[in-house]
Each structure stands twice: as C-alpha cells, then as structure tokens.
C-alpha cells in the first residue's frame, strides 16, 4: 500500500444534495427499487442477475467458486453467440452498427449483415491457421471491421488483443512480443484529425523485429490515398471475406473461465500492464451494467465516444450493448474534435437515446460554448453518462442542465481497465445523483476507503479506495494472483481486497473519487488530491481545463499547475491572480501552486484522459516517456516551451 501521512483534503465542497431522477425516467427504467428489493427478499445473488442475462451452452450451477476465484465456473458459452446469434430470430433486420467516418462516410450493418461478416472472417482466420487460444492482435481505428474482427476471434475461441491505432510501432511490438501473438489484423492506416497516417509501414517494421513469424491481414481504410504491397504472409481482409462469403462457423463453446481478450493499460500514469479478461464473468458483468446503469434497451440508439482500443470501447461499445441487442453508433475520431457541432449533429441525426462520454470532452464543450449544442434537437436523449476520470461539479451541472435539460439522469461511472466494468455508480432508476460524486457501490460490490494502515477512515475523510469483494469482471491476474496482482497490497483480514490506486472520500454512502493515489501531492507534510486543486482552478472564470502535478522547488516537492484558458486572448496575469486567490480562499496560502503554466491544450489520450505522467516529466525536466498514446502530440513541444519561458 502507498505509505505516507493521511490525506488532508478539503471536503466542504462535497455535494450534499441528491437530485432525484425524473419520474418519467424511473417509470421506464430497466432496474427499479422494487426489482432490487424483490431480488434481495428472494435471496438471489446480486451477480446471478447478471449471469441470467446471457445464453449459456451449458448452464452454470455455481455463481462464484471461492476456492478457485472463478465466476460461473461450470458454465459454458460463446461471447459472439450472445452478441449476435441469439438476436437473429427477433431482430435480424435491426441496425447493429451505424458508423460515421471522419470524411463524412456512413455505413450501416444490421444484425444479420454483421453476423454474416463475422462468420466469413472467422472462417478466414481459421483458414489462416488461427485456433482456439491463439492471440490475434488487432491494430485499427474506430471502423466497423474492428468489432467484426473482435467478434470473429471470440467466435472461434481465439483471444483478441486490441492495440490502439495511435500507439507507436515500439508499443505495438512490445505488446505482440509479450503476448506471443503470431497474427496481426491491421488497417492500412487511419486519419488523425483529417490527415492520413500509414499503419502498414509500421506493421512491416514491427514484424521484422519480432522473434515469431507473423501472419498479417490488412484492412483497407485509406483506399486510393495509400498504396501498399502484400508480402508472402500477408492477406487482404476484403479478399478473405469474399473467399468465405456465405460460410457459417459454429461458435466454439468456451468455459466461462477461458480467456476472451487481453488489453493493456494506456500508460497515462506509468508503464502499461497486461490485463486478461475471461469470457463468462466479464460478459455477464458488462451486460448487466449496460442494462442497469446505462439503461440500454434493444430499441435504443446508443453512442459512446470512446475509442475501441480502450477498455470502455470493449465493454460499453461492443460486448455489453451488443449482448443486449441494441443499435450502436460508432464515430471515428474524438468526441471533442472539430467541427464543434459534429457530436450534436449525430445526436439529432440518429435520435440518440444514450450518450456516454468523458469529462474532458465535456469541459471542451463548455469552453466552446452552449451555442453549438443549442443549434440541435437533443430531445431524444434519455440518459447521459461520464467515464474516464472524475468529473468536477461544474462540468456535471453543465452536462445535466445544458445537454440533458434536467430531464436526463447522469451516471458518473467509476471503474478501471482492471475491473472490466462499472463498480461504483448510481443506478439511474434507483439512486439520486450528487454532482461530482460517482455514487454508491453497485449491488454485490463492497467498497471501502482506508488509510495507509488499512483502517477504514471516517466519512468525509480522504483515503485509499479498495474493493473488498470479488466481482464477475475481475481479470485473471486478480483471481489467480499472477503478474501485477502478485504484489498487490491487501487489507487485513480481507482475502479479496483490491487496492485500486485511487483516492476517494465517502459521504453518506456516496463515494467521490479524488484521482490517482500517485496524483496526490505532498507539500510540507500536507497531502493534496490533484482533483481537489483542479476543481478549484476550473471553477475560476476563464479556465477551461486544468491539470496539477508534483514538481520541485528549491527545498521541497511543489505544485505545478497547467491551465488551458477558454480563449486565445486570455489575460494570463489576471488569471494567475484569480487562481491563487481562489486556492488561498478554499484551502490556504500554503497550497498555492509554485508555478502556473498556461497552455493551448493539455496532452490527452484518445479516450480523453489527461496524460499527467507526461506533465510530471516536463515539470521535473526529465526525458519524456512514450507519447504514442497521445491524440495531440503536437502540444508537447508547446507545453515544454511554455514551461521554460514561464
């Protein structure tokens, strides 16, 4: 466990009010208080509700095996059969995927059309020698071929490992070597804010440096804008589909404990680590939370703005929503990418029911101004959700009032790559909402906030967030205590404790996330959560976004603040004065930043997370680590220059 003094966190600004969801929403919600009470009275295990949402080849008898740490261990199923096959009788002509490309293209796949392509590509992969248990690396942007490839792998029992398209060749090679992957499905390229970027050249370099022989399938994305040649062990995706068109591949029945996919953390706060999610528990977890938290129904059109390369894309674009048989809207490119009206155009055009996006994107929308969403009819929206990092109350209220017109519940979901799915959040038809607070743990989840000795802290006192009970979406590393979980800290007398690495505070059973533990700054013996300081800065009129990291002054660890003004003509000296004044008023003069650096943008991954590790390197004058996860790498030099000249 991370040591040090107890958190000294300002808690007076914790929201105390609970905003009730609209009665019209509660009346149609998938999960209501009455339903939860009935399950509780009947003694139904909370996660048995999740398992019962799936179709099993061999029904499970045991929900959780405490001896082996396995979920639904005696059950067998196939993830693709749950996402496609079981929907064909009732909704084969319903749209499964609707894709909006960066160049204005639109493509639609019904459940039947998607099933046919998945079967054809599954047959093609088998023809190339892919067998159950083999790791197939997928390196593509958000295009329909990526979920096709994911589901094709799952259909034949292969393990997919999606590597975000923006990662460097070195990052791709490291992941393929670590997973011993001999198969690569890669697009010829992708568009970064309108500019074509080649991936085939990157793939050639990667394969040349690997010990294993790699079979490659190339997906056309750039078309005539990019030419490439195929080698002896290279194949074209479209030709494979043509050769196997009309073939049907029987879904391979998998044990619930068999691997479904590998994924690596993004490295925003440190080195990436491998996380292995299994078939039954993970799929049950994501299906139930999509049903209960995101309130997804088959007739909905659902839009999540995450990239498919991150865990949010896996859980809440592909597996959870498709397991429920809904229509998923895919958008190529980031949510807060110009044009400034694009996201709202899509909501109106497709009558989107549920919008799931990041706090970073929301703060950008705030900076751009309400006049952009005001141009469009957003009345189709029924639910709003946030993911990726804690949301400050100001951004929460803007989303609730400006986008949802106070008619849409907002679910602020806390979870991680390691958890697979939501663990702490409100259930929108059951719980009231507290701006800036994630909410209570879900049924079946026990969460606690402890100090550095493992002792539970008092309410409104900051500490370390721990999950004390197992959950279906927990990865193999945690259930088997392998790899990174071998050295994970545990709470006394708690066999299943998982120390999340996040700081948190509990108030009236609601948990507010304060940010990463390694995003806590120690100044003169006092410890501050970065979210606390950032929330104060964002509350200053004229500041759109802020990030705070530790730096060093002449004698001690100090506070470095990076701020993004909401206009290019901002009066930076005046903003600096206002920031310092507000921090002094809210916390005290000892918490004033040692430096405040104004930047045009903050470095972010495609999922919208601020890469604080990079800002820490800049503040310390260290050599910069891997920046390939950034969607805006051009801003790094500007931040370095601003830091040096500030």
What are the structural domain ranges in the chain? 115-252, 524-645
Split at pLDDT 50, 70, 90, the class of 472 is: very high
Q: What pLDDT is recorded for position 6?
A: 40
pLDDT reading at 555 higher than 60: no
What are the distances in angstroms from CA 322 to CA 91, 313, 577, 607?
A: 12, 12, 50, 21
d(CA 256, CA 73): 6
Phi and psi at 472, nearest 5°, equal -60, -35
Q: What pLDDT is recorded for position 267?
A: 52
pLDDT reading at 439 higher than 60: yes
pLDDT reading at 527 higher than 80: no
Contacts 24+ apart (CB under 8 A), 313-318: 313/142, 313/162, 314/150, 314/162, 314/261, 314/263, 314/277, 315/282, 315/286, 315/420, 315/421, 315/473, 316/286, 316/290, 316/356, 316/387, 317/147, 318/83, 318/147, 318/150, 318/151
Angle at 175 between CA 171 and CA 179, to 5 degrees: 170
Q: What pLDDT is recorded for position 432?
A: 96
Is 49 in contact with 33 (CB distance < 8 Å)?
no
d(CA 334, CA 228): 27
Residue 170 burial (C-beta neighbours within 10 Å; 0-12, 13-18, 19+): middle
Q: What is the pLDDT of residues 401-412, one digit of tens each?
A: 999 999 999 999
DSSP labels, 234-252: EEEHHHHHHHTTT---PPP
Look at 231 and 57; give whichever has higher pLDDT: 57
Q: What is the pLDDT of residues 597-624, one digit of tens each?
A: 998 888 887 666 788 888 888 888 887 7
CB 574: neighbour CB atoms within 10 A?
Answer: 10
Give me the sheet containing 95-100, strands edge to edge.
106-110, 95-100, 327-331, 301-304, 354-357, 383-386, 410-412
pLDDT reading at 9 higher than 60: no
**CATH 3.20.20.150 at 524-645, yes or no:** no
pLDDT reading at 78 higher than 90: yes
CB 513: neighbour CB atoms within 10 A?
Answer: 22
1-15, 532-546, 628-642: lowest mean pLDDT where? 1-15
Q: What pLDDT is recorded for position 250?
A: 98
DSSP labels, 361-386: HHHHHHHH-TTTGGGS--TT--EEEE
Catalogue the E-assigned strands of 297-345.
301-304, 327-331
Split at pLDDT 50, 70, 90, the class of 48 is: very high
Q: Which residue has the tokens 């020698």?
A: 129
DSSP labels, 527-548: EEEHHHHHHHHHTSTTEEEEEE
Structure-derived torsion over alpha carbons of residues 176, 179, 183, 187, reported in degrees to the nearest 10: -40
pLDDT reading at 577 higher than 80: yes
Enumerate residues 6+ apart whose C-beta is below 8 A from 608: 305, 306, 334, 335, 336, 357, 358, 359, 360, 361, 388, 389
Is 140 in contact with 219 (CB distance < 8 Å)?
yes
Split at pLDDT 50, 70, 90, the class of 585 is: confident
Look at 566 and 154; give whichever has higher pLDDT: 154
115-252: which CATH architecture? 3-Layer(aba) Sandwich (3.40)
Q: Which residue has the tokens 């690997």?
A: 210
Whole-number mean pLDDT of the chain?
88
Is 353 in contact with 301 (CB distance < 8 Å)?
yes
Q: What pLDDT is recorded for position 485?
A: 78
pLDDT reading at 152 higher than 50: yes
pLDDT reading at 309 higher than 80: yes
Q: What is the pLDDT of residues 340-385, one digit of tens each?
A: 999 999 999 999 999 999 988 898 899 899 999 999 999 999 999 9
pLDDT reading at 564 higher than 60: yes
- Tokens, residue 249: 């591949």
Q: What is the pLDDT of residues 623-636, one digit of tens each?
A: 777 777 777 777 78
Is 519 in contact with 269 (CB distance < 8 Å)?
yes
Split at pLDDT 50, 70, 90, the class of 522 is: low
Q: What is the pLDDT of residues 168-221, one digit of tens each?
A: 888 899 899 999 999 999 999 998 777 888 898 888 889 889 999 999 999 999
pLDDT above 90: percentage of residues in the chain: 59
pLDDT reading at 570 higher than 80: no
Q: What pLDDT is recorded for position 284?
A: 98
Split at pLDDT 50, 70, 90, the class of 12 is: very low
Look at 518 and 306; give whichever has higher pLDDT: 306
């Amino acid at each position: 466990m991370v040591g040090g003094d107890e958190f000294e966190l300002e808690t007076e600004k914790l929201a105390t009010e609970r905003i009730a969801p609209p009665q019209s929403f509660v009346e149609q919600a998938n999960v209501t208080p009455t339903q939860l009470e009935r399950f509780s009275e009947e003694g139904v295990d909370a996660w048995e509700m999740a398992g019962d949402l799936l179709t099993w080849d061999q029904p499970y008898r045991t929900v959780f095996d405490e001896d082996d740490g396995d979920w639904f261990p005696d059950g067998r199923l196939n993830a693709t059969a749950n996402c496609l096959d079981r929907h064909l009788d009732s909704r084969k002509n319903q749209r499964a995927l609707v894709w909006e490309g960066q160049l204005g293209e639109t493509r639609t796949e019904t459940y039947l059309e998607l099933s046919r392509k998945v079967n054809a590509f599954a047959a093609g992969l088998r023809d190339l020698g892919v067998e159950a248990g083999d790791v197939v690396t997928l390196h593509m942007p958000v295009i329909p071929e990526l979920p096709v490839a994911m589901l094709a792998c799952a259909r034949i029992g292969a393990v997919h490992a999606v590597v975000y398209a923006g990662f460097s060749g070195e990052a791709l090679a490291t992941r393929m070597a670590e997973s011993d992957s001999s198969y690569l499905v890669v697009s010829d390229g992708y568009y970064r804010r309108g500019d074509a970027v080649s991936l085939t050249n990157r793939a050639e370099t990667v394969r040349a440096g690997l010990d294993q022989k790699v079979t490659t399938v190339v997906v056309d994305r750039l078309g005539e804008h990019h030419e490439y040649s195929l080698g002896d062990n290279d194949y074209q995706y479209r030709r494979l589909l043509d050769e196997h068109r009309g073939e049907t591949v029987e879904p391979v029945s998998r044990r619930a404990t068999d691997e479904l996919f590998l994924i690596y953390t993004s490295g925003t706060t440190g080195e990436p680590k491998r996380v292995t999610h299994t078939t039954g528990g993970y799929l049950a977890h994501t299906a139930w939370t999509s049903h209960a938290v995101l309130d997804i129904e088959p007739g909905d059109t659902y839009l999540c703005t995450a990239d498919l390369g991150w865990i949010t894309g896996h859980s809440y674009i592909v597996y959870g929503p498709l397991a429920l048989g809904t229509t998923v809207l895919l958008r190529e490119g980031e949510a807060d990418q110009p044009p400034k009206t694009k996201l709202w155009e899509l909501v109106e055009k497709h009558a989107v029911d549920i919008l799931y996006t990041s706090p970073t994107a929301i703060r950008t929308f705030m900076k751009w101004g309400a006049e952009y969403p005001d141009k469009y009819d957003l009345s189709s929206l029924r639910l709003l959700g946030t993911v990726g990092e804690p949301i400050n109350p100001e951004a929460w209220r803007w989303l609730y009032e400006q986008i949802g017109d106070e008619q849409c519940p907002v679910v602020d979901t806390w979870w991680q790559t390691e958890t697979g799915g939501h663990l702490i959040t409100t259930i929108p038809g059951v719980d009231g909402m507290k701006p800036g607070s994630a909410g209570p743990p879900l049924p079946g989840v026990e969460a606690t906030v402890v100090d550095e000795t493992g002792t539970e802290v008092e309410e409104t006192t900051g500490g370390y967030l721990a999950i004390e009970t197992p959950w279906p979406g927990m990865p193999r590393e945690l259930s088997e205590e392998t790899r990174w979980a071998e050295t994970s800290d545990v709470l006394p007398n708690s066999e299943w404790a998982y120390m999340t690495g996040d700081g948190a505070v509990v108030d009236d059973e609601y948990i507010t996330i304060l940010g990463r533990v390694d995003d806590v700054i120690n100044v003169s013996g006092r410890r501050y959560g970065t979210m606390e300081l950032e929330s104060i800065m964002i509350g200053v009129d004229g500041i759109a976004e802020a990030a705070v990291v530790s730096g060093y002054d002449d004698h001690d660890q100090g506070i470095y603040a990076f701020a993004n003004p909401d206009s290019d003509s901002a009066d930076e000296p005046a903003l600096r004065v206002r920031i310092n004044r507000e921090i002094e008023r809210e916390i005290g003069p000892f918490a004033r930043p040692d430096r405040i650096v104004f930047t045009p943008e903050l470095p972010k991954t495609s999922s919208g997370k601020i890469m604080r590790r990079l800002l820490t390197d800049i503040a310390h004058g260290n050599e910069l680590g891997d920046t390939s996860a950034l969607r805006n790498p051009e801003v790094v030099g500007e931040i370095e220059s601003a830091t040096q000249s500030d």
